[in-house]
Chain A
């Protein structure tokens, strides 16, 4: 088998002696992870920027091919580590479509999924806002944001058992119902949120330093955004109201009342405002989901071939014991087929193209990573701007490198 040989990386060399080449990263603090940008600069002005990715490549897609359908979810959650549940939801929805059980997911499970998704979105935007603030010199914002995020991580831990990667969602429903005391803590968070958002907006929104650094910086026109495949808040800041929750509703999002915030300027400040507005809208959805939680019900599909039997039945029922053993030792099989499922993750359209060949392991899982496409737009944004503005642009595109590199 002949394999094409990869050509060596072209060095960015000075073209006429007036420019120099600077490698920014991969350990630069404002690259939000391990991003290297090869810069050709003329003084302080960027002539060409070439982002180099792959420093965090861990082969998640390959690893998942060797795991059971249920095990693969654990590695998939590690892609976008700031919003782990959004990866899980997208994957779970895709597998449910392949299994043909998408319309049998219990109502309460769907409500809790929506709740988890929106809390995750707020937590993820908190990290973005905190780190973006630090990039711009506003240190205290970071502490306010991480305090709010910590409240949400506490809720995640209560529900799923872990702060960062709760693995709370399951194919067919959820790991379990919400624990006692969860609602009271959720209510406390709903109570606290508006005041905290007022403080954050007060610190930043009219702040002249922030406005000087972000207004008219990194302007992404509509055409450019579409060309680069930019989605999510970055696309909506350029004036295109594309939100997967509205365009292709999933998990009952069509029954919730929320706005899709957009701006038309397309600069870093517009992206900042869109994300702040999104946090408010997410909290609106959380409040609606909270009201629906008063109705009890099952949180897992009633199908012994997919869901583990309740622990207490295993000692009493032979069938339950057999089902438990088979599910744990060889997993469930998924009928052959291919499906593309997309959701609105905090960063944009997250998609999984999942192929099954009828086995108990996925044949192929292809991710559509929103961060990767958003980050790619940096090539078009950076030239002609100052190096200091590059930091703002990277921050305002909000990439997560676990997802860019997978």
Chain B
């Protein structure tokens, strides 16, 4: 089980989305942040009535760093449209909450887990993580596990386990416990 030991490969500055675009039945559009809002509004007018999902991907090391991904669905013709919008850390996007109500929680989640700010969102706050959480967990530079120094100390019984080698805290060795028991009996 080697997997959780290795953090995910970060900093591979490739863009997989451009390599093989025709893998599924969606039409793919890449749109710059400045014209995103107007284009999405036009798509909605063209019959893409439902915003199925809004998510993000962190391509750490690429320029721009993030892709915000909109999945649109035309319910009449059953056509899918995927809109990719690359933005950098610190840049803001216009919210589409007023176009599609479904964007409400989705934008909050992207903000929470990636730290991408949506201007014009009525209630942009964390949704999955606690309000006082630091950092944005789905960023690639966010560690998979905390560092050892910050970990809470192991309970004494765990230190005595033969699986985890560690120095038992003073006074909590097996001998000391046996000594205590012996004294109590006396």
- Chain B CB within 8 A of A384 CB: no
Which one, B7, B14, B75, B127, contacts A336 given CB within 8 A? Answer: B14
CA distance A342 to B78 in the complex (A): 13
Q: Which residues of B contact A206 (CB under 8 A)?
A: none
> Could you list some 14 contacts between A and B, CB below 8 A?
A6-B111, A54-B126, A57-B129, A59-B137, A66-B3, A66-B6, A67-B3, A97-B23, A227-B101, A227-B102, A335-B20, A336-B14, A357-B14, A368-B71
CA distance A248 to B73 in the complex (A): 12
Interface residues on A, range: 35 or more
In the complex, the answer to whether B123 meets A247 with C-beta atoms within 8 Å is no
CA distance A192 to B136 in the complex (A): 50
Q: Which chain A residues in 187-242 approach chain B with CB under 8 Å?
A: 226-229, 231, 240, 242
Extra contacts besides A4-B111, A66-B8 (20): CB < 8 Å: A3-B136, A7-B124, A8-B131, A54-B128, A61-B138, A62-B138, A62-B144, A228-B102, A229-B52, A231-B52, A240-B75, A247-B78, A340-B24, A340-B71, A340-B82, A342-B52, A356-B16, A361-B8, A363-B16, A368-B55
CA distance A60 to B23 in the complex (A): 25
Q: Which residues of B contact A53 (CB under 8 A)?
A: 105, 127-128
In the complex, the answer to whether A353 meets B75 with C-beta atoms within 8 Å is no
In the complex, the answer to whether A229 meets B19 with C-beta atoms within 8 Å is no
1/0 per residue, CB under 8 A from B, across A328-346: the answer is 0100000111111110000
In the complex, the answer to whether A248 meets B112 with C-beta atoms within 8 Å is no
In the complex, the answer to whether B100 meets A229 with C-beta atoms within 8 Å is yes
Q: Which chain B residues in 163-178 approach chain A with CB under 8 Å?
A: none
Q: Which residues of B contact A380 (CB under 8 A)?
A: 101
In the complex, the answer to whether A4 meets B26 with C-beta atoms within 8 Å is no
Q: Which residues of A contact B87 (CB under 8 A)?
A: none
Q: Give the number of A-B contacts (CB < 8 Å).
A: 153
- Chain A CB within 8 A of B50 CB: yes
In the complex, the answer to whether A10 meets B16 with C-beta atoms within 8 Å is no
Q: Write the chain A residue with the least CB distance to B103.
A: A229
1/0 per residue, CB under 8 A from A, across B143-179: the answer is 0100000000000000000000000000000000000
CA distance A312 to B172 in the complex (A): 51
CA distance A356 to B9 in the complex (A): 11
Query: Smallest CB–CB gap between A338 and chain B, Å?
Result: 5
Q: Which residues of A contact B100 (CB under 8 A)?
A: 227, 229
Query: Smallest CB–CB gap between B21 and chain A, Å?
Result: 8
Interface residues on B, range: 35 or more
Residues in A lying within 8 Å of B, measured CB to CB: 1-4, 6-10, 53-54, 57, 59, 61-63, 65-68, 71, 97-98, 226-229, 231, 240, 242, 247-248, 329, 335-342, 349, 351, 353, 355-359, 361, 363-364, 366, 368, 372-373, 376, 379-380, 405-406
CA distance A141 to B26 in the complex (A): 42
Q: Which residues of B contact A242 (CB under 8 A)?
A: 75, 78
- Chain A CB within 8 A of B4 CB: yes
CA distance A194 to B127 in the complex (A): 43
Q: Which residues of A contact B142 (CB under 8 A)?
A: 62
Which one, B49, B71, B133, contacts A226 given CB within 8 A? Answer: B49
Q: Which residues of B contact A358 (CB under 8 A)?
A: 14, 16
Query: Smallest CB–CB gap between A366 and chain B, Å?
Result: 4
CA distance A406 to B135 in the complex (A): 18
- Chain A CB within 8 A of B115 CB: yes
Given contacts A226-B50, A229-B100, A380-B101, contact A65 B8 (CB under 8 A): yes
In the complex, the answer to whether B3 meets A340 with C-beta atoms within 8 Å is no
Q: Write the chain B residue with the least CB distance to A61.
A: B138
Q: Which chain B residues in 1-50 approach chain A with CB under 8 Å?
A: 2-4, 6-9, 12, 14, 16-17, 19-20, 23-26, 49-50
Given contacts A59-B137, A353-B69, A364-B57, contact A6 B20 (CB under 8 A): no
CA distance A8 to B132 in the complex (A): 8
CA distance A342 to B58 in the complex (A): 22
User: Closest 10 interchain pairs by CB?
Assistant: A229-B102, A366-B55, A336-B16, A368-B53, A337-B20, A57-B128, A247-B78, A54-B128, A65-B8, A339-B23
In the complex, the answer to whether B75 meets A1 with C-beta atoms within 8 Å is no
In the complex, the answer to whether B71 meets A353 with C-beta atoms within 8 Å is yes
CA distance A320 to B30 in the complex (A): 44
